[in-house]
Structure 1
Amino acid sequence: MNTLQLVWKNITQQLGSTLLSIILTAFGVAILVSIYITSDTFEKQLDNNSKQVDLVVGAKGSPLQLILSALYHIDNPTGNILLSEAEKLQDNPMIDMAVPISLGDNFKGHRIIGTDTSFMTLYELGLASGKMWTKSYEVVIGSETARKRQLKLGDQIHSAHGLAENAHVHDEHPFTVVGILKPSGTVVDNLLLCNLESVWDVHGIHHDDHDHEHDHDHEGHDHDHAHSNESKATETAAAHNHDDHEGHDHDHDHATENTAATVDSTHDHEGHDHEHDHEHEHVTTTTASPAQEDSLVTERPRPNVFVKSIADDIIKEHGLEITALLVKYRTPAAIGVIPKMINQSTSMQAASPALETARLFSLLGVGIDSLEILAYVIMIIAGLSVFISLYNALKDRKYDLAIMRTMGASKIKLFSMLIVEGLVITSIGGLIGLALGHLGLYFISTQTGQSADIIQAFKIYSKEWLILLIACLIGVVASVIPAIKAYNTTISTILGNK
């Protein structure tokens, strides 16, 4: 009978203590494997998701929350910012690219991102099938979204309000899948992309056609003007500049008695329809002199300025807002200039992905290190269990060892048999621990949100073999003392006592 057969016989004879040692070893290895794979995967994902983005601009609040929501899509946004204010950054010569994104809905836990085609350039994305969106309510989906939800080109989906999977569903606004992205190894694989107008429309925000260059077309507004006087001054007052009024109908009734007028405006803001009734009371019944006209102009705002201020209020309250802006620098000099300029001179905040990611790891590091220490402690306890099991079993097996010696077994064979026994116990526990670690990660990835989908549960990492080797070494060390005791077995003494 060879050494392995003898070892297996000995293990099965003390099954209770052997199982305890195997279970402890398995738990220690499983925890270490889970920690290593999770931390390594998230570190790589954080780098992949942020390597093309130098700055994230959004509403004031927590910079870390802004990064997590806009870049990694694992938190709620800090708020919205005006698109008109964010667009000004695109003209800065230090900025190479500024990509708008708008959050608000999800599909079964996968976030729907409103953006433009520059998002594809920023993340270097490509289409596996289909095409890019060309109109509202068309979406291009990530590879993991298509795989997990079994979606294909032409399928229609309904978004849910907010970022929670069980939120209110917008049944009246179905989206059509027109494209599927190639796997990118980033969080984009779990997203759905559409144009900004889709996000605005689904939440009842009316707008004109807003192209991807963020130029606004202000055609298509209905303005009804009833004029009771055909004088030149009245026509000038009626020629209002309606810039930035997007998607609103304005009815203006003007009762004009003379050319010098005082404006009293009443605005009723209900939904997106605004009726402006301007009653003009006149201070003279004769034609005003040029000097009087100049005095009146300086005493009250011009109509186009007045209307523009109304438009700004409308946009701020109802209109074109986005969640964040993903910025890529043109020059390294922007690192020290752009964030400070945004934080000090605008109502927005700028957050650096590099700084906030380092901060995130510093916060998570304590917990990860604690879990690693716990796992090693469990493995040491498993080694102690192996030692106690072999040492106690040695007392009952002294006579068997003496008989083996009389039959020609050498001291080295007895020593090696105890070492192999400890090695086998911890090896079995280590292999079971590897399997438990991967199965646990797979279960986590299927039961949680898309933030855990990036974990490749069944990928074998090189460090896993190092963890298994450490477990085996603990078993070897734990069996050294019992093996030395078996090596020093005295045949005459043991048989004489027997």
Structure 2
Amino acid sequence: MNILKISGKNLVRNKLTTILNIILVAFGVGILSILFLASNQIGHKLEENAKDIDLVVGAKGSPLQLILSSIYHIDYPTGNIPAKEAAQLARNPMVKRAVPLALGDNYNGYRIVGTDTSFINLYGLAVQKGSFWRKDLEVTIGSTVASDAKLRIGDSFFGAHGLTGSDDIHKQHAYVVKGILKPQGNITDNLILTNIGSVYKMHEEKHGESHHAPTTEAKEINDKQITALLIQYKSPMSVILFPRMVNQSTHMQAASPAMESARLFSLIGVGIDTLKWFAIFIMGVAALSIFISLYNAMKERKYDLAIMRCLGASKFKLFFLVIFEGVLVTFIGTFLGLFIGHVALELIGIYQETSQAKLTGLTAFAQEIYLIWIGLFIGALASLIPAMQIYKVDIAATLTKDR
């Protein structure tokens, strides 16, 4: 007796119910797959971008906004801080490395970051072509920037004011591409790096406009301000002492990437948990649907099962036949759900407006194996009670009654 062939014919005979059960399982698994893939990718990106940064110092405001703008480059800065005070902090005995950042411009949505060579050491950057910037208005660009913006060594471009958009273009100075970074798998792939002097020069007052009242932007440049400092500690004791010193004795604020990332995940986690429970509910409905369809089918197939028993099929073989039907439905639904989840996330990634935290469905994680096992378990569990009915079938009574 070919179990697979018989199970297939039984499922085809009730094709509408079978299709409904497969869709329910696929829908639940698909949602869980998207959540697993997205949360793993986001968690990995957060970890990769902030793994060597102990603290971010910037203007007073939202600590989470400061972290998002200075490390992940997906928000606006809280303001600027005096470069002189930032330099004093950088010389503090508790600081191992302090990396200055000057933000404010972009090119086609990619942020132009003014910094120094300490940024290269912080992220362990290496060039694939060309070299690192050396003079004002020279830039080294990330691999994603190079491919998407189609920039090559020696090309020039104009930056635009602001972190998004290209309405206010700085046409008085052009940046020149001196190098392209090797793919890093972190935020640096999406950045345009230059020295801080380039940012200052880009925002100097134009000649012939000095008779106007100085703008806020010009005042910031004259006062030599930067956006933030990325800090590495010298010792574990600095974790307690340094942030408190910054927050209490200066006009700046100190924000911990670890704490703010955890807070961000707790905020996102509410929505993720809601979707997880919704997906689990869908899986439960699928299990109930499989149970009902198999239970009802058992009543209709008593005569067939009795004939099989007369032809030599054991009770265990028939029991396994019913279990196999339930498992087969969830098996198909689970793999269909995984496929849908990956395709959906890839489409989400393609249509994402931001390039800083791109999601992709062209990857896999170990947790998805658990989804397969959960799907098979649900199928077996839903089939268990209907399969138990095999042992209650009275062959003689069933054949006599139906005859």
Partner of 1:134: 134
Q: How far, CA to CA, are the matches of 2:245 and 2:10 in structure 1?
A: 74
SS at match of 2:159: strand
Partner of 1:289: none
1:77 deviates by 0.9
Residues 1:404 and 2:308 aligned together:
yes
Q: How far, CA to CA, are the matches of 1:96 and 1:56 in structure 2?
A: 13
Contact 1:60–1:78 under 8 Å retained in 2: yes
Contact 1:98–1:328 under 8 Å retained in 2: yes
SS at match of 2:231: strand
Partner of 1:492: 396
Partner of 1:197: 197
Structure 2: gaps (5+ residues): none
Residues 1:438 and 2:345 aligned together:
no
Structure 1 vs Structure 2 CA RMSD: 2.6
Partner of 2:32: 32
Question: CA separation of 1:375/1:157 partners in 2, compared to 1, >3 Å: closer, same or farther?
Answer: farther
1:196 deviates by 1.7
1:264-317 CA distance string (max 9 Å, x none):
xxxx66459xxxxxxxxxxxxxxxxxxxxxxxxxxxxxxxxxxxxxxxx97547
Contact 2:203–2:221 under 8 Å retained in 1: no
Q: Which amino acid aligns with 2:377?
A: L
Bigger strand fraction:
1
Partner of 1:285: none
1:345 deviates by 2.4
SS at match of 2:316: helix
Aligned length: 400
Q: How far, CA to CA, are the matches of 2:150 and 2:294 in structure 1?
A: 53
SS at match of 2:38: helix
Contact 1:141–1:177 under 8 Å retained in 2: yes
Contact 2:205–2:218 under 8 Å retained in 1: no
Contact 1:205–1:319 under 8 Å retained in 2: no
TM-score, with structure 2 as normaliser:
0.91
Residues 1:102 and 2:102 aligned together:
yes
1:57 deviates by 0.9
Residues 1:162 and 2:168 aligned together:
no
Q: Quick one: which of 246, 262, 265 aligns to 1:358?
A: 262
Q: Which amino acid aligns with 1:2?
A: N
1:167 deviates by 4.7
Q: How far, CA to CA, are the matches of 1:390 and 1:413 in structure 2?
A: 16
Q: How far, CA to CA, are the matches of 1:166 and 1:22 in structure 2?
A: 48
1:425-457 CA distance string (max 9 Å, x none):
00111001111111122112221112332x452
Where do 1:382-393 residues align within 5 Å?
A: 382-393=286-297
Partner of 2:325: 421
Q: Which amino acid aligns with 1:203?
A: H
1:295-347 CA distance string (max 9 Å, x none):
xxxxxxxxxxxxxxxxxx97547552211111112233322332222222222
SS at match of 1:144: helix
Q: How far, CA to CA, are the matches of 1:63 and 1:200 in structure 2?
A: 25
Bigger helix fraction:
2
SS at match of 1:111: strand
Contact 2:63–2:260 under 8 Å retained in 1: yes
Contact 1:444–1:452 under 8 Å retained in 2: no
Contact 1:31–1:375 under 8 Å retained in 2: yes
Partner of 2:357: 452
Partner of 1:79: 79
Contact 1:82–1:320 under 8 Å retained in 2: yes
Partner of 1:14: 14
SS at match of 1:56: strand
Q: How far, CA to CA, are the matches of 2:209 and 2:279 in structure 1?
A: 67
Partner of 2:381: 477
Q: How far, CA to CA, are the matches of 1:335 and 1:144 in structure 2?
A: 34
Moved more, 121-130 or 140-149: 140-149
Q: How far, CA to CA, are the matches of 1:196 and 1:205 in structure 2?
A: 17
Contact 1:139–1:193 under 8 Å retained in 2: yes
1:140 deviates by 1.5
1:55 deviates by 1.3
Question: CA separation of 1:315/1:83 partners in 2, compared to 1, >3 Å: closer, same or farther?
Answer: farther
Question: CA separation of 1:150/1:349 partners in 2, compared to 1, >3 Å: closer, same or farther?
Answer: same
1:390 deviates by 1.4
Partner of 1:322: 226
Contact 1:33–1:434 under 8 Å retained in 2: yes
Contact 1:94–1:331 under 8 Å retained in 2: yes
Where do 1:205-284 residues align within 5 Å?
A: 270=213
Where do 1:39-58 residues align within 5 Å?
A: 39-58=39-58
Contact 1:205–1:318 under 8 Å retained in 2: no
Partner of 1:144: 144
SS at match of 2:128: strand
Partner of 2:237: 333
1:58 deviates by 0.8
Moved more, 397-406 or 344-353: 397-406
Partner of 2:181: 181
Q: Which structure would you say has the larger Rg? A: 1
TM-score, with structure 1 as normaliser:
0.74
Q: How far, CA to CA, are the matches of 2:157 and 2:128 in structure 1?
A: 20
1:480 deviates by 0.9
SS at match of 1:332: coil
